[in-house]
Amino acid sequence: FPRIQRYSLFTTVMSSVESYLYRICLKIQYLQPTTKKFKKPRNNIIKGCIEYLEKCCGADFSKLDIKEIDMYRRIRNCIVHSEGKNSDSEPFEVEAFCQKKPTLSIDRNGYIVIEENFLQIAIHVTTEFLKSLIVECKKKLKAQQRLQPDAE
C-alpha cells in the first residue's frame, strides 16, 4: 500500500510540474504576442517548455538542475507506463540515478522503490526549480520591456 501511495503522490507532483510549465509558456505567449506560437510538446513536455522559454523569452536556465527534473520525469514515466518497472529507454541511467539517492532504489525485480523521504525531497526540488524558472523569465521579460521603444 505505501508503494501505491508514493507512486501516486510522485506522479501528481510531476504532473503538476508539467502543468505549471505549460501554463507559464501560455502566459509568455500572451504577454509577448509577437513571439512564436507555443504548441504543447507531445513527448517531453518539460524539455519542450524549457526550449520554448529559452527561445522566446531569452531565459538562461543553465543554473537550473534540469537533469534532475528530467530524471524525475523518466521515473514518473516508468511508474505510469510500466507500474514502476524500470522500463526507461536507458535503464542503466535510471538505475545509476536511484543508486545515488538514499531514498530511491530498484528492487530485485526491477521496480523503482520510493522511500518516504523522497517525496519531500522531490516536492522541494521541483518547487525550487519552478520558482527559479519563473524568476528568470520575469527578469528577461522586464529587460525586454525596457528595451522596447515607447509607443507614440
- φ, ψ at 71 (rounded to 5°): -65, -35
CA distance linking residue 70 with residue 34, whole number of Å: 29
Q: What is the pLDDT of residue 147?
A: 59
pLDDT at 150: 53
**3 state DSSP class of 36:** coil
Distance CA 42, CA 62 (A): 24
Helix, coil or strand: residue 33 = coil
Residue 113: enclosing H or E segment and its boundaries?
A: strand 112-114
DSSP-derived 3-state class of residue 104: strand
Half-sphere exposure (Cβ direction) of 12: Cα atoms closer than 13 Å: 8
* pLDDT of the chain, 152 residues: tens digit per residue: 789 999 999 999 999 999 999 999 998 888 877 667 888 888 899 999 999 998 888 888 888 889 999 999 999 999 999 999 999 999 999 999 999 999 999 999 999 999 989 999 999 999 999 999 999 988 888 877 665 555 44
* Alpha helices (H) in 32-65, listed in sequence order: 45-57
Nearby residues of 125 by Cβ (< 8 Å), 6 or more positions away: 65, 68, 69, 72
Secondary structure letter of residue 84 according to DSSP: T
- Based on the number of CB atoms within 10 Å of its own CB, is 51 exposed (0-12), middle (13-18) or buried (19 or more)? middle
